[in-house]
A and B are shown apart, each in its own frame.
Chain A
């Protein structure tokens, strides 16, 4: 069982695919904050063999779309008074705005300034997305 001692109110990101913990840690800019955080790598896991996990001793807003793109299989646990009060399972977002870049050089998003790209999920199994503008496919 996950040791959440020391976290009164906060978040644990669990079941992160080994190796992706650091990426998420950086993506959430946890290396820049002044409250207590922990990145645990290669912890033993019944489900995954090993896993990464992140403890955050603070309530912060998580961008679930970004997390879903990095690792749709992770679990987010919301902690209050050292108890898990809520678990959030992620899924691949149906639409992703402003994060991915279209790789098609003929796409309007490659030349037009100030355009936010939007990618739409076309196949969850292969994590395939298509550009809303030119329909070019991209896989995560």
Chain B
């Protein structure tokens, strides 16, 4: 159904397409070895114009676990891009060798530009502060898998809600589901932009800077990192970085079946002691990230669900 498509923004997939992708991903989660041959003879190109080891490993592991192979570069200095080749030329060349391309780029809209020239599916693996759709797919699969379904939940999002693109695209994607209550938890300096709030559909929300006060009502707590590169002033960064620290004491206030998610890497916002709590699912989340990428590659290359 998705064969030949590009995945540029998290809203590129309809609810129906998401559903069939999640069903395939869940079949992979249950028996990954059954899919270890599906990608045989196929090549995935990973074009990383800025380094992101975590995301690149996730895609490359996904392709290798499907039995396919990987080519690519992990920083632009080692590629033809350093010699000034245009994105359009690079993707057309890569299209001669590979069956699909994954692109990470510091500039917003670069994967969209590539897709206009590309004969093979282009997957956006993060473009500046803009979009990172496979992170969003990872988050949705994690919620679905660990909480049964995505609707009817109280979801807390905590940290840098102003600049955090992960939060923005997750909230956009969640807004398509029903009966969600969003709790936006941030320092007053880093509140969620109004245009995100305008697009929550029929879902409800509240805003607060007090994590402890809302902890008890959450089904899901999504923690994010305060990013240094967003601040001009080191003092301001250090002050806000320590604003929220999730520790064992705060976890005592939470429901027994709440889950704590985090897109990783974390800095100080989750104390290591929380890792022992079974409600901390951020490392499982990383594994779901690989499975959803396996499912996505299969769908885009038409490698058959069953």
A residues near B (Cβ < 8 Å) are 104, 106-115, 131-136
Contacts and interface: CB of A to CB of B under 8 A. Distances in A.
18 contacts: A106-B106, A106-B107, A106-B128, A106-B129, A107-B108, A107-B109, A108-B109, A108-B110, A108-B112, A108-B113, A112-B86, A112-B110, A112-B113, A113-B86, A134-B108, A134-B130, A135-B108, A135-B130
A112 B117 CA distance: 14
Interface in B114-163: 127-130
B105 interface: yes
Contacts, number: 45
Give the secondary structure class of A's interface: loop
A133 B109 CA distance: 4
Contact of B112 (A106, A133, A136): A133
Contacts of B105: 108
B107 A111 contact: yes
A133 B86 contact: no
Contacts of B87: 108, 112
Specify which of B86, B87, B108, B127 lies most central, judged by the most chain A CB atoms within 10 Å of its CB. Answer: B108
Contacts of A115: 113
Given A106-B128, A108-B87, A132 B112 contact: yes
A22 to B, nearest CB: 35
A9 to B, nearest CB: 40
Contacts of B127: 108
B86 A134 contact: no
A137 to B, nearest CB: 9
A110 B113 contact: no
Contacts of B107: 106-108, 110-112
Contact of B86 (A107, A114, A132): A114
